[in-house]
Amino acid sequence: MNALLAELIKLKRSLSWPVVVLLPLALVVSAVVNTLVSGQPLEDGWATLWLRSLVFGGLFPLALGVGTLASLVWRVEHRGNNWNVLMSGPTPTWRIVVAKGIVVAGLSAAMQVLLHLAVLVMGEVLGLPGGMPVAYLGISALIMIACVPLAVLQSGLSMVLRSFAAPIAVALVGSGISIMLLMAGLDAALVSPYGLFSRTTQLGTGTFLDDGSTSAIDVVMILSLSVGLTAGLLAATTWFINRRDTHA
Amino acid sequence: MTSATVKGFTNEFAKMRQLGVVPVGSALLLGVLGLTMIAALGDPSFAEPRTRSWLPMLGGMSMGVALMSPLMLAVLASRQVDIEHQGQGWLLSATSGLTPGQVCRAKLVALGAVVAMITIATNVIILGVGLALGVPAPPPVGHWLAAVSGALLVSLVLLALHVVLAAKVENQLVGLGIGVLGTLFAAFASGLPTWLAHLAPWGYYALTRAAEYQGESVVLLLPSWPSLLGLAVVGGVVFALVTGRLDRQEV
């Protein structure tokens, strides 16, 4: 618990907040600008706006955002003498790993909340017919859960790689490869946190891998994969850092 | 070039050995190749060997460059410059005769050479794949070279932007964040009106597209050179001014 409290204190002056706010806004605004200049209306109202913001974001920009957040959260530990202080303190490694993972996942969840709100506000401003479908609340919640393994993976990468930029490059490549494999019909690529996250952002939209109907099986699969991947990645990160050290 | 600047240039290559330039560069190369092949295989005319053409591949190549480059260039520049902040490299170089501005110029030339090599390698591989797949028509060499040189020019301007950004702003979030937003802009730019694409350097990738769909068929395009020339002049002048100022600042 103390490790988590320490992380929350570090967040107070963190540069993470601009990322959390700016990325969702950029996604929704670019979806709307794109719609306006292309001259194609939002033919399906809320569904089209959701699709152009969320599903596009889920292809790679949101994964880059999570990667950036993880790099920011770990950057301070790689500066000056902080790494030695962190590793030589009395806090067990797994607590540090879990605390950092919770913080990155929490920031990512905040990003999703803002994205949801931005779509809602933008839809109301554009005067889309009817209210925003209630089912989107559930999908947003699932996206936040599916984002946890991604956050833990990026947190682990940013812990091991001292560079700020390298883990973000991994996120772009990882997202690209996962989507390619999933599109090629290889469902096993869902064990990649990038693939799982992309797949979840497409729920209910009928695009890419989604057939438009969200079944209980999909939900159970996403939940169980999220839990399993999170546990596995946390264990792997802890195991790694207990035996190895970071390098540039 | 004086011997000091030549030394600065070769030093940058020595620094690259520890900076993961090979994985990042390979990611750029493989990403562009992958998107090229996805675009080609997604075109129905490509399935049949007799109707196969270079155009979907060229269009895919342009799209891949626009999608992959903004972030990968930001990563390359950020890593190459961040070590100077981390290890007090500015001061070390300055005391051994290379001002920060000269270091930045050496970094741009060195990284530019790497990006140019990646670009050449990517396109040679695409040419090889096309020949191996037995595309019947001869490759449209003129249009191809023009599009590749145009896109390379845009990449070099972006690289210059990211080098000075990473040097001036120590927090690498800023450069990477701009790279992410640039990716978004580049992804949308081909759908924007041309004047809007001119507003930010990432949009210029859209002006270098080798081919695009007009209705059902793909047509070859030539880059709009006046716009690209304008971008190069503005980018070059800004880079010269900023690195010139770095030369006269205390480290």
Length of chain A measured in residues: 248
Among the partner residues B27, B183, B192, nearest to A37 by beta-carbon distance = B192
What's the pLDDT at A126?
A: 86
pLDDT at B18 over 50: yes
Decide if A163 touches B, using CB distance below 8 A. Answer: yes
Q: Which of residues 22-51 of A touch B (CB under 8 A)?
A: 22-23, 26-27, 30, 33-34, 37-38
Nearest CB to B79 within list A68, A165, A173: A165
Contacts of A25 (CB under 8 A, 6+ apart): A114, A118
CA distance B60 to chain A (A): 15
Tell me if A8 is assigned to some domain.
yes
d(CA A132, CA A120): 7
Determine, yes or no, domain membership for A51: yes
Q: Does some domain include residue A248?
A: no
Instruction: Tally the C-alpha atoms within 13 A of residue B154's C-alpha that lie toward its C-beta.
Output: 32
- If you average pLDDT over every residue of chain B, what do you get? 91
| Amino acid A248: pLDDT | 47
Shortest alpha-carbon distance between residue A51 and chain B (Å): 15
pLDDT in tens, B88-128: 899 999 998 899 999 999 999 999 999 999 999 999 999 99
Whole-structure pTM value: 0.83
**What are the residues whose beta carbons fall under 8 Å from the beta carbon of B116, sequence distance 6 or more?**
B152
Selection from A47, A19, A63, A51 nearest residue A179 by Cα: A63
Q: What is the pLDDT of residue B251?
A: 67
Spell out the alpha helix ranges (H) of B17-99: 21-41, 55-86, 89-95
Q: Which of A37, A173, A177, A183 best probes binding to B when mutated, by most B CB atoms within 10 angstroms?
A: A173
Q: Which domain holds residue A30?
A: 2-243
- B-side interface with A, Cβ within 8 Å? 18, 20, 23-24, 27, 30-31, 34, 38, 68, 71-72, 74-75, 78-79, 82, 171-173, 176-177, 180-181, 183-185, 188, 191-193, 196
Quote the minimal CA–CA distance from A164 to chain B in Å: 7
In whole angstroms, give the CA distance from residue B220 to residue B56. 10
pLDDT of the residue at B102? 93
In a domain? residue A231: yes
Least confident of A64-68, B1-5, B26-30: B1-5
Here the tokens at position B201 are 């350097």
Q: From first to last of the 248 residues of chain A, give the pLDDT tens digit.
A: 788 998 999 888 888 888 899 999 999 988 888 777 777 777 778 888 898 899 989 999 999 999 999 999 998 898 888 888 888 888 999 999 999 999 999 999 999 999 999 999 999 988 888 888 999 999 999 999 999 999 999 999 999 988 888 999 999 999 988 988 888 888 888 999 999 999 999 998 888 888 877 888 989 999 999 999 999 999 999 999 988 876 64
Domain count, chain B: 1
Say which residue, A244 or B148, is predicted with more confidence: B148
* pLDDT of the residue at B1: 56
Q: Is A157 inside any structural domain?
A: yes
For tokens 């599009």, the residue is B147
B239 is in which domain, residue-wise?
Answer: 3-247
Chain B residues whose CB is inside 8 A of the A68 CB are: 173, 176-177, 180
Q: CB distance B24–A34 less than 8 Å? A: no
Beta strands B217-220 and B211-214: pairing type?
A: antiparallel
Q: What is the pLDDT of residue A62?
A: 95
CA-CA distance, B101 to A46, in Å (whole number)? 51
The domain tally of chain A equals: 1
pLDDT of amino acid A186: 86
| Six-digit token string for A215 | 């079944």
Of A26, A27, A72, the CB nearest to B173: A72
**In this predicted model, what pLDDT tens digit does every residue of B41-66 receive, in sequence order?**
888 888 888 888 899 899 999 999 99
| Residue B156 in this model has a pLDDT that exceeds 60 | yes
**Dihedral sign from CA coordinates of A34, A40, A41, A44:** negative
What is the per-residue pLDDT across B199-248, written as a single tens digit (0 to 9) for each?
999 999 999 988 887 777 778 888 999 999 999 999 999 999 999 999 88
Closest CA to A96 of A3, A197, A212, A27: A3
Contact B27 A169 (CB under 8 A): yes
Cβ-contact A179, A198 below 8 angstroms:
yes
Question: Token digits for A9?
Answer: 């204190």
Q: Which of B72, B79, B192 sits opposite A163 (nearest CB)?
A: B79
Give yes or no for A76 touching B (CB within 8 A): no
| Chain A residues with beta carbon closer than 8 angstroms to that of B71 | 64, 168-169, 172
Q: What DSSP element (H or E) covers B45? A: none
